[in-house]
Amino acid sequence: MARLHEFQGKALIKEHEVDVPRGQAVTSPAEAKNVAADLNCPVVLKVQAWTTSRKAQGGILFADTPDEAKEHAEKLLGMTFGNFPASEVLVEEKLKITHEIFVSLSIDDAAQSPVLLLDCAGGSGIEDRAETVARIPINPIYGADKDSIAHVVEQSKIFPEMHDDVVTTISKLVDLARKFEARALEINPLVVTEDLRIIAADCRITIDDYAVFRHPELGIEIARELDHPATDLERLAYEMEMNDHRGTFYFAQLPTAGHAETKGLIGFHGAGGGGSMMSMDAATNEGFTIANFCDTSGNPSVAKVYRAARIICAQPDLIGYFGSGSGVASQEQYHSAYGLAKAFIEMNMSIPVVVRLGGNSEDRAVEILHDACGKLPAPVECYRKDDTPAFCASRFAELVASGKTQSTDNKRTVPDFVGKDSSYNFPIQGGTVWIDHANCDDETASLVIKHSQELLKLNDEGKPVMAVDEESIAKKDSELIACEIECFRAGKPVVFVDLQIPQLDQAAA
SS3 327: coil
How many other CB atoms sit within 10 Å of the CB of residue 155?
10
> What is the 3-class SS of 307-321, one letter each residue?
HHHHHHHCCCCEEEE
The CATH homologous superfamily to which domain 232-401 belongs is: Succinyl-CoA synthetase domains (3.40.50.261)
Give 103-151 as a DSSP string. Answer: EEEEEETTTTEEEEEEETT-STTGGGGGGGSEEEE-BTTTB--HHHHHH
Q: Is the pLDDT of residue 223 over 90?
A: no
Q: Is the pLDDT of residue 261 over 60?
A: yes
* Ramachandran angles phi, psi of 317, nearest 5°: 70, 20
Domain ranges of the chain: 22-93, 97-213, 232-401, 424-508
| pLDDT average, residue stretch 486-504 | 95
Q: Which residue has the higher pLDDT, 368 or 142?
A: 368
**12, 90, 80, 13: which is closest to 51 by C-alpha?**
80
The CATH number of the domain covering residues in 424-508: 3.30.70.20
CA angle 31, 35, 36 (to 5 degrees): 115
Q: If you average pLDDT over residues 375-379, what whole number do you get?
A: 94
The reported pLDDT for the residue numbered 39 is: 97
In this structure, is the dihedral angle defined by the CA atoms of residues 157, 160, 161 and 166, taken in order, positive or negative? positive
* pLDDT value of residue 125: 72
495-498, strands of its sheet edge to edge:
424-428, 431-435, 495-498
User: Which pTM value belongs to this model?
Assistant: 0.81
Fold of 97-213: D-amino Acid Aminotransferase; Chain A, domain 1 (3.30.470)
Q: Between 302-313 and 477-489, two packed helices, what is the crossing angle to 10 degrees?
A: 70
Q: What is the mean pLDDT of the chain?
A: 91
Q: Is the pLDDT of residue 355 over 60?
A: yes
pLDDT of residue 327: 64
Strands 182-193 and 198-200 come out as antiparallel
pLDDT greater than 70 at residue 509: no
| Buried b or exposed e, range 380-390, using 16+ CB within 10 angstroms | bbbbbbebbbb
Angle between helices 442-450 and 477-489 (to 10 degrees): 140
Angle 506-345-382 from CA coordinates, rounded to 5°: 130
Residue 67: pLDDT band (50, 70, 90) is: very high
- Rounded Cα gap, residues 457 and 466, in angstroms: 6
The listed range with the strongest mean pLDDT (1-5, 386-390, 505-509) is: 386-390
Indicate the residue type of 325.
G
Higher pLDDT, 85 or 281: 281
**DSSP 8-state assignment for residue 302:** H
More confident residue, 88 or 1: 88
- What is the rounded average pLDDT of the residues 331-356? 94
pLDDT tens, residue by residue, 440-463: 999 999 999 999 999 999 999 999
The topology (CATH level 3) of 22-93 is: Dna Ligase; domain 1 (3.30.1490)
